[in-house]
Amino acid sequence: MSAASAMVINAIKKLVGIPDKIYLLASNIISRVKNLKKMF
């Protein structure tokens, strides 16, 4: 994930009050997005 994407997700979590321990995106989704970025 890029730094900008991480910043947006962390800002949303902070505004809503979601703890840092809770992930909004599953690791398999992140790995699929990374694979797509490598392909294109």
Q: Which domain holds residue 17?
A: 3-39
Please count the structural domains in the chain: 1
Res. 1 pLDDT band, cuts 50 70 90 = low
Put simply, whether the predicted model's pTM sits higher than 0.75 gets the answer no
d(CA 34, CA 13): 22
Contacts 24+ apart (CB under 8 A), 4-8: none
> Is it the case that residue 5 has pLDDT exceeding 90?
no
